[in-house]
Amino acid sequence: MNKRKLPFGTALLNAPFTLWTVIFILAPLVLVAYFAFTGNDGRFSLQWFEYIFDPARRETYLRMFGDSLLYGALATGISLLLAFPLAHFMAQSKQSVQRVLMLLIMVPMWMNFLIATNAWRYILEHNGLINNLLAGIGLPRLGMINTPGAAILGMVYNFVPFMILPIYTVMARLNVQLVEAAQDLGASRWEVLRRVIVPLSMPGVMSGVIMVFVPSVSVFFINDRLGGVRLIGDVINDRVLNETNLGAAFSLILMLIILVCMLVLNRMGDREKGAFVN
Amino acid sequence: MEKDIIIDLRNVNIALGGQPILQDLSLYIRNKEFITLLGPSGCGKTTTLRIIAGFLQPDDGQVIFDGTDCAGVPPHKRQVNTIFQRYALFPHLNVYKNVAFGLKLAKLSKKELHDRVTEMLAMVNLTGFEKRTIASLSGGQQQRVAIARALAVKPRVLLLDEPLGALDLKLRKDMQVELKNIQQQLGITFVYVTHDQEEALSMSDTIVVMDEGVIQQIGTPKDIYDEPKNAFVADFIGESNIIDGIMLADLKVKFAGMTFTCVDKGFAKNEKVDVVIRPEDVDIVPAAHGVLPGTITSATFKGVHYEYIVDVQSFKWMIQCTDAYAVGDVIGIMIDPQEIHVMKKSKYSDLIGDYSSFSDEFDELSNPLEEDEDE
């Protein structure tokens, strides 16, 4: 009797999660795929993919996908370079310092990204804050707005907290005795970092990379406003209301690309780990 | 000064978080000896170890290693290695790579490194465990990996911070013997930190008893047990009856209303003293034959012997003997002159009472297993 009841009870306990998964994860994916493969006549069709890969447009769209990946990768790389030392510093600081830094990292996340992006535009533009300051002291104005650099700055600004937090979480839990043990066995500060802290932080780095790379690749608005660059995210954003099916086809391709990137990254992560173990 | 001194701590003071931890501590450690720092939680023994390892810098005083002052020398440049309380093995490396960690940093050739790791693993009976992950090992096996890892780099001194604290009793006893064997076999200095007095007595060449950042006594296990310097040492090492007494003259001490012959001298006339008598040194005889009468108030069978709490003029003594008596029996006690140890009064004299509040449970509470003084 009991043995039969137990799975039912477990299923019941799992119900909220199962429901959540179905409604918020599976259903949207299925819908995206459904729209992408539905033609104007409401039947199964590849017309949207044919449209995208039409020789007349193919090059434009492929370059857009390529740019999205490139910008995403750059934003992720820069975020990692900024986040790793900061997370390391935070994890080694006193509790009070850790709390203040954590707050400073969180506060920008409370601000809507549209507002933050417009604020950055105001700071960087030709008659913006920085250029007015430069002009005020007699220096020439710089062309910062509408450059790839500004687009990447906007992405890094928005997404770097998602890199810092997972790395910091892993580092803060790192047993201090492991660092001492490494020093004790003859490791200099640099070698402690290389042989102990970096390999043990890899789980945090991997989740940070995923959490920054995915939104960076599909980003819209930020790049447009700051960089004057239109990426695949903008294309999807434009299509999604009026040309839903075409937008869905773009989304599906983007999801596939991201999926492939994640698989490659995971592979690399494993190999990285192997490299450090040696 | 003796010649063969490897570590010399001179007037070391340190405070952590405004709290003085070590006060004017001076201690020398001879080459190749097994020395134990023994004391309760918070006595400064782990801090002393961390100063020797270089993880802490003393506020004041010198640490001299093999004739050179090592102020400011970072841990990775010292010829000492540590076995940490919870081993601190690298979870991302397997057993082989853990043991090879220090050797790799020392830039040994591949063959030398392999030979050395193999030799070390054989020494700790872990041959065949090379590829195992740390998480898959038992506590005892992890302990062995930690020993192999620390000894692989051939330190001159090995520091051990409560290394057996996390092991169960049986394993602890085995490891005690094994560690002692390894120390003698390799002929290197071991500085061992523990709060377990029995462990200290059975393993050490020299014991340093510490309390509140001050060394209470340094000596061989036999010295420490037989001739405790003050009431703290007598109470901490084994069980002791500590009784107020008056030194009437050389070789004559008065306590419990009686004058006894003893073997101690050199005290002032009528100086107040603490008299220590070990529970196993008291003989129980029929009431008529004893020098002092007493009533048994508690009897516990301990396996090898019985442990009695005996009321002697309202002062509760602990007495251990192999004969069976019942609670309420009136007995006599006898003490040989050489079993009476006379100590100078100290600040501990008033803190340590008789056995009226004694229970095993209380004993465990006052000897916590965890050592958290630096955390």
**Residue B202, number of CB atoms within 10 A of its CB:** 14
Q: Are residues B202 and B276 in the same domain?
A: no
Say whether residue A95 is in contact with chain B using an 8 A CB cutoff: no
Query: Residue B269, SS3?
Result: coil
Instruction: Write the residue in B53, B89, B93 that is nearest to A184 by C-beta.
Output: B53
- Quickly tell me which residue has 């990137």 as its tokens: A261
Q: Are residues B311 and B360 in the same domain?
A: yes
* Confidence at residue A276, expressed as pLDDT on a 0 to 100 scale: 43
pLDDT higher than 60, residue A5: no
Question: Where does a domain end: B206, B226, B246?
Answer: B226
Question: Where does a domain end: B226, B249, B271?
Answer: B226
The CATH code of the domain that includes B336 is 2.40.50.140
* Confidence at residue B359, expressed as pLDDT on a 0 to 100 scale: 58
Range of the domain at B339: 231-365
Contact B242, B274 (CB under 8 A): yes
Q: Are residues B289 and B257 in the same domain?
A: yes
Instruction: Write the residue in A180, A196, A273 that is nearest to B55 by C-beta.
Output: A180
Read off the pLDDT band of A226 (50, 70, 90): very high
- Quickly tell me which residue has 């700071």 as its tokens: A123
> Does residue B371 form part of some domain?
no
- Average pLDDT of chain A is 89
Give the residue-averaged pLDDT of A60-84.
95
CA dist list (Å): B5 to B30, B42, B266: 4, 27, 31
Buried b / exposed e over A174-190, threshold 16 CB at 10 Å, is bbebbbbbbbbbbbeee
End-to-end alpha carbon distance in chain A? 54
> Does residue B126 form part of some domain?
yes
* Confidence at residue A269, expressed as pLDDT on a 0 to 100 scale: 67
> Does residue B361 form part of some domain?
yes
What is the C-alpha separation between B366 and B357, in angstroms, rounded? Answer: 13
* Confidence at residue B265, expressed as pLDDT on a 0 to 100 scale: 86
Domain ranges of chain A: 60-277
**Residue A111, number of CB atoms within 10 A of its CB:** 12
Instruction: Write the residue in A178, A186, A200 that is nearest to B76 by C-beta.
Output: A186
Are B84 and A273 a contacting pair at CB < 8 A? no
Interface with chain A: mutation pick from B99, B105, B142, highest number of A CBs within 10 Å: B105
Q: Are residues B162 and B271 in the same domain?
A: no
Q: Which residues of B touch A196 (CB under 8 A)?
A: 90
Q: Which residues of A touch B80 (CB under 8 A)?
A: 184
> Does residue B346 form part of some domain?
yes
Residues 103-142 of B with CB under 8 A from A: 105-106
The residue of chain B with its CA nearest to that of A273 is: B92
Q: Which residues of B touch A273 (CB under 8 A)?
A: 92
The CATH code belonging to domain A60-277 is 1.10.3720.10
> Does residue B287 form part of some domain?
yes
* Confidence at residue B169, expressed as pLDDT on a 0 to 100 scale: 87
Rounded (10°) angle between helices A148-173 and A198-217: 140
Distant-in-sequence, close-in-space partners of B178: CB < 8 Å, separation ≥ 6: none
* Confidence at residue B371, expressed as pLDDT on a 0 to 100 scale: 42
Say whether residue A274 is in contact with chain B using an 8 A CB cutoff: no
The residue of chain A with its CA nearest to that of B80 is: A184
Say whether residue A242 is in contact with chain B using an 8 A CB cutoff: no
Distant-in-sequence, close-in-space partners of B296: CB < 8 Å, separation ≥ 6: B308, B309, B310, B311, B325, B326, B327, B328, B329, B330, B331
* Confidence at residue B3, expressed as pLDDT on a 0 to 100 scale: 65
Are B76 and A185 a contacting pair at CB < 8 A? yes
Q: Which two tokens stand for residue A98?
A: 């850790």
Residues 134-173 of A with CB under 8 A from B: none
> Does residue B370 form part of some domain?
no
Q: Are residues B247 and B216 in the same domain?
A: no
The residue of chain A with its CA nearest to that of B85 is: A177
Question: Where does a domain end: B180, B207, B226?
Answer: B226
Q: Which residues of A touch B93 (CB under 8 A)?
A: 277
Q: Count the domains in chain B.
A: 2
Say whether residue B81 is in contact with chain A using an 8 A CB cutoff: yes
Q: Are residues B296 and B198 in the same domain?
A: no
Q: Are residues B301 and B219 in the same domain?
A: no
Q: How does pLDDT run across A153-196, given as a tens digit for each residue?
A: 999 999 999 999 999 999 999 998 999 999 999 999 999 999 99
Q: Which residues of B touch A274 (CB under 8 A)?
A: none
Instruction: Write the residue in B74, B81, B85 that is nearest to A185 by C-beta.
Output: B81
Counting residues of chain A whose pLDDT is more than 90, the rounded percentage is: 71
Q: Are residues B215 and B268 in the same domain?
A: no
pLDDT higher than 80, residue A272: no
Q: Are residues B222 and B261 in the same domain?
A: no
pTM summary value: 0.80
The CA distance from B195 to the nearest CA of chain A, in Å, is: 20
> Does residue B140 form part of some domain?
yes
From first to last of its 375 residues, what are the pLDDT tens digits of chain B?
Answer: 456 899 999 999 999 988 899 999 999 999 999 999 999 988 999 999 999 999 999 999 999 999 899 888 999 999 999 999 889 999 999 999 999 999 999 999 999 999 999 999 999 999 999 999 999 999 899 999 999 999 999 999 999 999 998 888 888 999 999 999 999 999 999 999 999 999 999 999 999 999 999 999 999 999 999 889 999 999 898 888 999 999 999 999 999 888 999 998 889 899 999 999 999 999 999 988 888 899 999 999 988 899 999 999 888 999 999 989 999 999 999 999 999 999 998 888 878 777 876 655 444 444 444 444 443
Q: Which two tokens stand for residue B235?
A: 């109470």
**Better-scored residue on pLDDT, A70 or B314:** A70
Q: Are residues B206 and B247 in the same domain?
A: no
Q: Are residues B65 and B140 in the same domain?
A: yes
What is the C-alpha separation between A264 and A79, in angstroms, rounded? Answer: 19
Say whether residue A174 is in contact with chain B using an 8 A CB cutoff: no
Q: Which residues of A touch B76 (CB under 8 A)?
A: 183-188
Q: Which residues of A touch B94 (CB under 8 A)?
A: 277
> Does residue B374 form part of some domain?
no
The CATH code of the domain that includes B218 is 3.40.50.300
- What string of DSSP letters covers chain A? -HHHHHHHHHHHHHHHHHHHIIIIIIHHHHHHHHHHTB-TTSSB--HHHHHHT-HHHHHHHHHHHHHHHHHHHHHHHHHHHHHHHHHHHHHHS-HHHHHHHHHHHHGGGGS-HHHHHHHHHHHHSTTSHHHHHHHHTTPPPP--TTSHHHHHHHHHHHHHHHHHHHHHHHHHHS-HHHHHHHHHTT--HHHHIIIIIHHHHHHHHHHHHHHHHHHHHT--SHIIIII----HHHHHHHHHHHSHHHHHHHHHHHHHHHHHHHHHHHHHHHHHHHHHH-
The CA distance from A83 to the nearest CA of chain B, in Å, is: 22
Q: How does pLDDT run across A42-67, given as a tens digit for each residue?
A: 899 999 999 999 998 899 999 999 99
Q: How does pLDDT run across A88-119, given as a tens digit for each residue?
A: 999 999 999 999 999 999 988 888 989 999 99
Check: complex ipTM more than 0.85: no
Q: Which two tokens stand for residue B51?
A: 């100063």
Query: Residue B37, SS3?
Result: strand
Distant-in-sequence, close-in-space partners of B355: CB < 8 Å, separation ≥ 6: B241, B309, B316, B317, B318
What is the C-alpha separation between A211 and A205, in angstroms, rounded? Answer: 10
Are B153 and A185 a contacting pair at CB < 8 A? yes
Interface size between A and B, measured as CB pairs under 8 A: 62
pLDDT higher than 90, residue A228: no
Q: Are residues B289 and B207 in the same domain?
A: no
Residues 198-217 of A with CB under 8 A from B: 199-200
What is the C-alpha separation between B158 and B161, in angstroms, rounded? Answer: 10
